[in-house]
């Protein structure tokens, strides 16, 4: 066999291989063109993601209550008895403050003598900000004692008057809170007195007329009957005048 014949056979072999590769490429291209429409994704087809159908929701998490909490509530992914849970008292996420406990769905203080005020347990028998009840503050200088605001120095606590009041001499609170004396009257030792006529308080509280020189109080001045009080004399009821002694 000559060298020329070997060269011709080699050329023929290369031609056959090239034809086979070309047929393979043509087949793959034709297969791609025949891909069914349902196999093309929304992104490949140029469809807006908003128009595409959303994926199905995931199955419920059995650990997140699973929708079943007989006689309990699902709080934070767990079944909770809200009648006694300190973190979910009465309802989910309603946490009781420190020092309290959850009883029948309500936060209560552990100590029977305390009251729940503003998120804390308070002894309302002596707390000046919560005296007797929540938010009932005792203004200075009053203090909270036995659940009531009280004052020192013989004064009475009158909340409507703004605090501690001397009811023995205050005409607006004479003898007690809110007791108003009439026009022309003075508050003397807790009593409303007309000092224009009272012989024990003539012209002012505790101004007593001398019974020897006067027997009455007229217009706030000690008098002997209708005249002025006797000076250096005494008032004689029998003579209805001053009598020299």
Give residue limits of the domains in the chain: 151-193, 195-245
Question: 78 is written with which tokens?
Answer: 């767990």
Between 65 and 87, the more confident residue is 87
Nearest to 216 by CA among 204, 232, 228: 228
Residues forming beta bridges with residue 100, ordered by sequence position: 109
| Buried/exposed 87-117: b ≥16 CB within 10 Å, e otherwise | ebbeeeebebeeebebeeeebbbeeeebbbb
CA 102, CA 85: separation in Å to the nearest integer? 6
Question: 120 is written with which tokens?
Answer: 């804390």
For the chain, the C-alpha Rg in angstroms (whole number) is 53
Considering all CA atoms of the chain, what is the largest pairwise distance in Å, rounded to the nearest integer? Answer: 189
The pTM score is: 0.51
Question: What mean pLDDT do residues 171-199 have?
Answer: 94
Average pLDDT, the chain: 78
Q: What is the reported pLDDT for 212?
A: 82
CA 34, CA 16: separation in Å to the nearest integer? 27
């Amino acid at each position: 066999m000559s060298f020329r014949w070997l060269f011709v056979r080699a050329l023929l072999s290369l031609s056959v291989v090239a034809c086979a590769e070309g047929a393979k490429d043509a087949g793959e291209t034709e297969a791609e063109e025949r891909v069914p429409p349902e196999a093309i994704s929304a992104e490949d087809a140029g469809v807006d993601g908003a128009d595409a159908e959303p994926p199905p929701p995931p199955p419920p998490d059995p650990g997140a209550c699973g929708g079943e909490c007989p006689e309990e509530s699902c709080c934070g992914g767990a079944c909770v008895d809200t009648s006694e849970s300190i973190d979910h008292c009465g309802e989910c996420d309603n946490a009781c403050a420190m020092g309290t406990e959850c009883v029948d769905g309500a936060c209560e203080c552990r100590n029977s003598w305390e009251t729940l005020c503003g998120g804390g347990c308070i002894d309302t028998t002596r707390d000046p900000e919560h005296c007797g009840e929540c938010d009932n503050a005792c203004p200075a200088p009053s203090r909270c004692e036995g659940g009531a605001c009280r004052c020192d120095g013989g004064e009475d606590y009158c909340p409507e008057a703004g605090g501690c009041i001397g009811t023995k001499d205050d005409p607006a609170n004479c003898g007690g809170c809110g007791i108003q004396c009439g026009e022309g009257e003075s508050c003397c030792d807790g009593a409303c007195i007309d000092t224009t006529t009272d012989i024990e308080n003539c012209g002012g509280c505790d101004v007593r007329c001398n019974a020897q020189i006067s027997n009455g109080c007229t217009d706030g001045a000690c008098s002997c009957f209708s005249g002025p009080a006797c000076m250096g004399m005494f008032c004689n009821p029998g003579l209805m005048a001053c009598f020299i002694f």
